[in-house]
Amino acid sequence: MKRESQRLAGILLIVLPTVMYGGLTILTMLIRDPQYVANPLRQDLWRAGHAHAGVLLVLSLVLLRYVDDANLSGRLQALVRISTPLAAILMPAGFFLSMISPGAVEVSPLIVLTYLGAVVLAAGVLTLGVGLVRRPRE
29: burial class by Cβ within 10 Å (0-12, 13-18, 19+)?
middle
Q: Considering all CA atoms of the chain, what is the largest pairwise distance in Å, rounded to the nearest integer?
A: 60
- Asked if the structure places residue 138 within a domain, the reply is no
The model's pLDDT over 77-127, given as tens digits with 9 standing for 90+, comes to 999 999 999 999 999 999 999 998 888 889 999 999 999 999 999 999 999
CA distance 97 to 49: 10
Torsion of CA 130, 132, 134, 138, to 10 degrees: -170
User: Strands, DSSP E only, in 31-112?
Assistant: none
Q: How many domains, in total, are found in the chain?
A: 1
86 inside domain: yes
- 85 in any annotated domain: yes
| 123 in a structural domain | yes
Residue 9 lies in a domain: yes
Mean of the pLDDT values across residues 60-66?
Answer: 97
Domain hosting 71: range is 3-133
Percentage of the residues of the chain whose pLDDT score is greater than 70: 99
In a domain, 30, yes or no: yes
Residue 35 has pLDDT above 90, yes or no: no
85 and 60 Cβ atoms separated by less than 8 Å? yes
Residue 104 located in a structural domain: yes
**Would you place residue 48 in the very low, low, confident or very high pLDDT band (cuts 50, 70, 90)?**
very high
In a domain, 51, yes or no: yes
